[in-house]
Amino acid sequence: MQFPVMNSAGREVSQVELPPDIFEAKINVGLMHQAFVRQMANARQGSHNTRSRSEIRATGAKWYRQKGTGRARHGAQSAPIFVGGGLAHGPKPRDYTKKMPKKMRRGAIRSTLSALVRDEQLVLVDSLDIDAPNTKAMRSLVETLVGDQSALIVLTAEQKSARKSVSNLPNAHSLVVNYLNVRDLLKYDKVIMTLEALEVVTSIWRVGA
C-alpha cells in the first residue's frame, strides 16, 4: 500500500510503501478489546485494603446487657452496622494481572494499526527533528497536520527534543515507538508517526519478527 508522507508544512512530499502484514492485517476487534482490558488491568496496583470486624481495635466486651433494654442483641462495637466498625466483604489487596500470549499481543497491535489506516487516522511525517525543545513550534506543527483534533505523536527514543516539545501541549501526547499499545493508539483522534518510527514499527511488528 502506497501511503502519503507529509512535511512540517502539511504538504505531501513523497509516498512510502506500508508493510501489508502490519497495516493491512485483518482487523480483529475482539483481540483488540482483550489487549485493552489486559493493559488496563495490569496498570492497577491492587493495594486497596479495608479492615474487617476482626481487625478493628475495640473492646471485645459485650456492648450492653442482653435483655431488658428494649434494643436489639449485640455482642461487639466492631460490627459492620456501627460507625467505626469493620467493613463486611470489603476489598483486600489482590493481583489484577492478566496474561496474554505474545502472538496475540502482536496481533492486537497490527489490528489497531490497520484500523487507523482504514479510518484515515494515521498521518506520516517526514521529520520532526527539533534542535531544542520548542512548545510553540510543535503546537504550530501539530495544528498544521491535524487541526484542532487530539493527536498521539509516535517518535523514536532518540527524538528527545521533539518529545519534550509535546509534553506541554494539552491536546497531544508523545509515545516512544517501542512502547506502542492499543490504549494510546485508540485514545486520540489522529496518530502522527515519523518515518524513523515507521522503520522501528516495521522491524518489530512485521510477521515473523
> Residue 28: what pLDDT?
96
Task: Say which DSSP state 138 is in.
Answer: H
Supply the pLDDT for residue 209: 66
What is the predicted pLDDT for the residue at 58? 87
Name the grid cell of 64.
Answer: 450492653
CA 27, 33, 34, 39 dihedral sign is positive
Task: Determine which helix (DSSP H) or strand (DSSP E) holds 40, and give its type and residue range.
Answer: helix 29-42
- The C-alpha angle with vertex 141 and arms to 165 and 173, in degrees rounded to 5, equals 45
Contact 131, 161 (CB under 8 A): yes
The Cα 162–Cα 143 span in angstroms is 15
Report the alpha-carbon distance of residue 173 to residue 197 in Å, rounded: 15
What domains are defined for the chain?
A: 2-44+99-205 (3.40.1370.10), 46-95 (no CATH)
What does pTM read for this prediction?
0.84
Instruction: Point out which residues pair with 3 in neighbouring strands.
Output: 16
Per-residue pLDDT of the chain (209 residues; tens, 9 = 90+): 899 999 888 888 999 999 999 999 999 999 999 999 999 999 999 999 999 999 999 888 888 999 999 999 999 999 999 999 999 999 999 999 999 999 999 999 999 999 999 999 999 999 887 788 899 999 999 999 999 999 999 999 998 999 999 999 999 999 999 999 999 999 999 999 999 999 999 999 988 76
CB 4 within 8 A of CB 15: yes
Number of H helices, E strands in the chain: 7, 6
